[in-house]
Amino acid sequence: MQGDTEIAEMHIVWLTAGLGCDGDTIAMTAATNPSIEDVLSGALPGLPKVHLHNPVLAYEVGCNFVRILERAASGELGPFILVVEGSIPDERNKAEGYWAAIGTDPESGQPITTCEWIDRLAPRAWAAVGAGTCATYGGIHAMAGNPTGCMGLPDYLGWSWTSSGGLPIVCVPGCPIQPDNFMEVLYYLLRQATGAAPMIPLDAMLRPTWLFTDTVHEGCDRGGYYEQADFAASYGARSCIVKLGCWGPVVQCNVAKRGWINGIGGCPNVGGVCIGCTMPGFPDKFVPFMDEPPGAHMSTAAVNVYGKTVRSLRQFTLASMNREPERCAGHRQPRAEEPEITDPT
């Protein structure tokens, strides 16, 4: 940690000037555990005082907001966490013009590109966070055939880049981010800034390990149907939807277990196939989205060998468990005839 000193006040400088839709900012406002209101109001003990500078949520507009970026870039505003939302275009792949910018250079009269802002802000940032898959790995805008040459923050700054606080880039993917995932990461970094938490644990793709180690399938409400070879043939069924295009068995994401807002929702929980939006290969490696994934055909065929047998045995056992055990006649009160238990199959 920078200077091994606890940080009492932290600014969050949030750039949404990349190629994006502001969807991650909007998603973040739905977080509840913790909420952005809890963090900014000081309701959570042990955190530094936090100031959020996000162009969608800021009181400042126009030149007044750009002035905040200028102060951060010049060292007048700090320490700060740089949050980048949206993919970062390659401004060198064309003869003229620009792909993305915010503000105007007073000397040249030209737009200040997003790349220039990152170049100026990143060296001074205590930590740098990519919010959403566009900012982490390029996302939709970086799919094959895109002329901007856009990329995620690790590709732009370098995968071994470290901040002034000694932290690697922290990637929180999702299209958009799962609200509580992002706020939990922000909370962790703020705790780390006070000396109350160790270095944030990240995987090889710079994702927080406690959020992105398990697959969607491992937390999915429909996982039990998969092992019993009970696969949905159409949308609306409650059984496993892997044959309808769900990539859950191989995608690292916790949305099925965590839900979307207040533990409710989550793509497969509400019948939506997982399209792999938290993965570095998204979207190119997951299209077309509604087709059965290549590996699913072989894996479901293997499950079919034993899954239906397992299901039948479980239903037989279930029918047995739904009947009271035999008791000694002397200890049982006489009553009306018991209802007949039928096999649910």
Angle among Cα 142, 14, 165 to the nearest 5 degrees reads 100
Do 83 and 38 sit in the same domain of this protein? yes
Where a domain ends, among 180, 210, 240?
210
Instruction: Say if 332 falls within a structural domain.
Output: no
Give me the pLDDT at residue 337, please.
63
Q: Cα separations (Å) of 26 from 22, 31, 55, 134, 257?
A: 6, 10, 12, 15, 21
Do 11 and 43 sit in the same domain of this protein? yes
Do 178 and 92 sit in the same domain of this protein? yes
Residue 57 CA to residue 36 CA, distance in Å, equals 11
Give me the pLDDT at residue 313, please.
85
- Phi/psi zone of residue 336: left (φ > 0), alpha (ψ -120 to 50 degrees), beta? beta
Specify the DSSP element, H or E, that contains 187.
Answer: helix 179-193
Domain span at 232: 214-313
Do 49 and 178 sit in the same domain of this protein? yes
Do 196 and 225 sit in the same domain of this protein? no
Instruction: Say if 330 falls within a structural domain.
Output: no
Give me the pLDDT at residue 255, please.
96
Instruction: State pLDDT tens for residues 141-158.
Output: 999 999 999 999 999 999
The CATH number of the domain where 257 resides is what?
4.10.480.10
Residue 96 CA to residue 33 CA, distance in Å, equals 45
Instruction: Say if 334 falls within a structural domain.
Output: no
Give me the pLDDT at residue 299, please.
79
Give me the pLDDT at residue 345, please.
53
The CATH number of the domain where 135 resides is what?
3.40.50.700
- Residue ranges for the chain with pLDDT beneath 70: 1-5, 328-345
Q: Which residue from 66, 65, 85 is spatially nearest to 20, judged by alpha carbons?
A: 85
Where a domain ends, among 210, 238, 255?
210
Tokens read off for 102:
């915010």
Q: What is the dihedral of CA 274, 278, 283, 285, to 10 degrees?
A: -80
Do 203 and 235 sit in the same domain of this protein? no
CB neighbours of residue 155 within 10 Å:
17
Residue 327 CA to residue 321 CA, distance in Å, equals 15
Question: What is the Cα 183 distance to its own chain's centre?
Answer: 10
Do 221 and 196 sit in the same domain of this protein? no
Do 53 and 183 sit in the same domain of this protein? yes
Residue 25 CA to residue 179 CA, distance in Å, equals 9
Number of structural domains, the chain? 2
**Residue 330 CB partners (closer than 8 Å, separation 6+):** none
Do 190 and 284 sit in the same domain of this protein? no
Do 225 and 280 sit in the same domain of this protein? yes
